[in-house]
Homo-oligomer: A and B are copies of this chain.
Amino acid sequence: MRHYGFFRSSASYRLRIGTNLKGLAVDYVPVHLSKGGGEQFAPAFAKLNPQNLVPVLEDQGRILTQSLAILEYLDETHPEPPILPRDPAGRARVRALAQIVACDIHPIDNLRVLNYLKGELKASEEATNAWYRHWVALGLASFEALLADHPDTGRFCHGDAPTLADICLVPQVFNALRFKCPVDGYPTILRIHEACQALDAFDRARPERQPDAV
């Protein structure tokens, strides 16, 4: 199993947490993302993923893209420990939480979008940072609202074992802290983030612990 990723990509970070939780042996192949000349635009990589995005997972000759799709695939092919609950309502809750991050925060704040803002729209550094924080704040506030006082919220986002929701949340909190977004208003998120970081699977997935970290 081969993971084409980038230490700082939060979608790649999700996949690292997922494969660590599943105890899978993975070859990590760094793809250095940067504007214009980044390795994600190299023809060999574009052939693997025409979206020019990481992560890509290669498994038994299959090329898989999109982090949530890959994580669901791993949960189906390596069911233990599960990263989704068994009941449809619980699964829907976990997937919705994951998608708040994966659909409604991360893509809007992704590198290519920030580059477009600064390049094509001539947005200042300050305006770009304000953009970043705006979508983080909206997303995390609703994530927090869906966690707080919900009977299924436990030690982690859903019950007492980590799920896809935690896998998406932790890299998003990492990004929020990196961009100095205020996070004091999200006590449940912070509590769960801390519980996750105490687990080896999350700790080993941290960006600064990857071979391509700079």
Interface residues of A (CB under 8 A from B): 49-53, 62, 64-66, 68-70, 72-73, 76-77, 88-89, 91-93, 95-96, 98-100, 102-104, 106-108, 113, 116-117, 120-121, 123, 127, 130-131, 134, 138-139, 141-142, 145-146
Contact = CB atoms under 8 A, between A and B. Distances in A.
Contacts of A138: 51
A127 B107 CA distance: 19
Contact of A108 (B51, B68, B107, B145): B107
B100 A103 contact: no
A104 B98 CA distance: 15
Contacts of A70: 92, 96
B51 A69 contact: no
A185 to B, nearest CB: 13
Contact of A50 (B92, B98, B142): B142
A99 B141 contact: no
Given A95-B66, A99-B66, A77 B73 contact: no
A123 B123 CA distance: 10
Nearest to A145: B50
Contacts of A72: 91-92, 95
A99 B69 contact: yes
Given A69-B93, A69-B96, A70-B92, 18 more contacts: A51-B100, A51-B142, A52-B142, A53-B104, A64-B89, A66-B96, A69-B95, A69-B99, A72-B91, A99-B102, A102-B103, A107-B108, A108-B113, A116-B131, A120-B131, A121-B121, A121-B127, A121-B131
The 5 A-B residue pairs with the shortest CB-CB distance, nearest first, are: A69-B95, A50-B145, A73-B92, A66-B96, A69-B96
B141 A50 contact: yes
A89 B60 CA distance: 11
A188 to B, nearest CB: 13
A82 to B, nearest CB: 14
A24 B35 CA distance: 46
B89 A62 contact: yes
